Amino acid sequence: MISKSYELRLDRFETVLSALLHIKESLDPTLAVRYSCRMGVCGSCGMVVNGRPRLACETNVYSLGSAEISVGPMEGHPLLRDLVCDFDEFFENHSSVNPWLVRTDVEEKFSSAKEFPQTRSEQDQYLPFANCIKCGLCVDACPVANTNPAFVGPQALSQALRYNLDSRDQGSDVRLELLDRLEGVWGCEFAGSCSRVCPKGVDPALAIQLLKLDVAKHATGRAA
Ligand code: SF4
Ligand code: FES
């Protein structure tokens, strides 16, 4: 990989993303960087900054405590160019766990008046896992995902739990059966690096351990 150095004068409120955009505007218009919201919502500006996967738009340059900042692409996703990675496989893994509300009653689809109220405590079950912005930092940090491309990964697994915990969902049996395999929950070695880098506090490592319990209980129930 070719590395390049640039010198910039930055004020204390700059982020890594704004520094990269200065480079792109005034020093190197060919630099490829992906971003959209600039406020930690869209999940598109993930990269490795000073050796750690981070969102460039949420990383203040001064908070890094160094006059030299190294920036590179995430290594857990295929590289397209410069700082831009290919997320096709990431989104395939995400979709593979049915990350949507599954309902078994076909009739209710045609009833526009049907409502599914939830209590606050029912919402509290899944909300801690519902803040995922699909930035892929957890997958980049995961040692298993980096060595076993078949592993579905911490993002997809945390989202499987998010929907399993939703009182409106009826798809948990299928998800638990899908994930009862080495490339599913049993691939996780509980390194915990996914949770350390998640910018939204989703805690995929906790989600996967909870999911392992549910998968084991479900498998035992099926065998009985
Ligand atoms: S779980 Fe966290 S780190 Fe992983 S994709 Fe979602 S927001 Fe990003
Ligand atoms: S640009 Fe949207 S999260 Fe960084």
The Å distance, Cα 89 to ligand 1 centre, comes to: 15
**Best CA proximity match to 16, nearest among 52, 75, 195, 136:** 52
pLDDT of residue 224: 64
Residue-range domains of the chain with CATH: 16-85 (3.10.20.30), 88-223 (1.10.1060.10)
Tell whether the model's pLDDT for residue 84 goes beyond 70. Answer: yes
- Mean pLDDT computed over 82-111: 93
Over the stretch 111-161, which tens digit does the pLDDT of each residue have? Answer: 878 788 999 999 999 999 999 999 999 999 999 999 999 999 999 999 999
Alpha carbon distance 52, 116 (integer Å):
41
The Å distance, Cα 34 to ligand 2 centre, comes to: 8
110: confidence class by pLDDT, cuts 50, 70, 90:
confident
Over the stretch 9-39, which tens digit does the pLDDT of each residue have? Answer: 999 999 999 999 999 999 999 999 999 999 9
**Best CA proximity match to 207, nearest among 149, 137, 131, 141:** 131
Ligand 2 pocket mutation, candidates 20, 33, 45, criterion most atoms within 8 A of CB: 45
Ligand 2 pocket mutation, candidates 39, 47, 59, 134, criterion most atoms within 8 A of CB: 39
The response to whether residue 218 sits with its C-beta less than 6 Å from ligand 1 reads no
Residue 58: partners with Cβ closer than 8 Å, 6 or more residues away: 15, 39, 40, 199
pLDDT of residue 114: 78
The Å distance, Cα 135 to ligand 2 centre, comes to: 8
Over the stretch 172-186, which tens digit does the pLDDT of each residue have? Answer: 999 999 999 999 999
The response to whether residue 42 sits with its C-beta less than 6 Å from ligand 2 reads yes
Tell whether the model's pLDDT for residue 223 goes beyond 90. Answer: no
The response to whether residue 40 sits with its C-beta less than 6 Å from ligand 2 reads yes
Ligand located closest to 45 CA? 2
The response to whether residue 134 sits with its C-beta less than 6 Å from ligand 2 reads no
Residue 29: partners with Cβ closer than 8 Å, 6 or more residues away: none
| Closest CA to ligand 2's atom 3 | 40
pLDDT of residue 105: 84
What's the predicted TM-score (pTM) here? 0.94
Mean predicted lDDT score pLDDT of the chain: 96
Over the stretch 195-218, which tens digit does the pLDDT of each residue have? Answer: 999 999 999 999 999 999 999 999
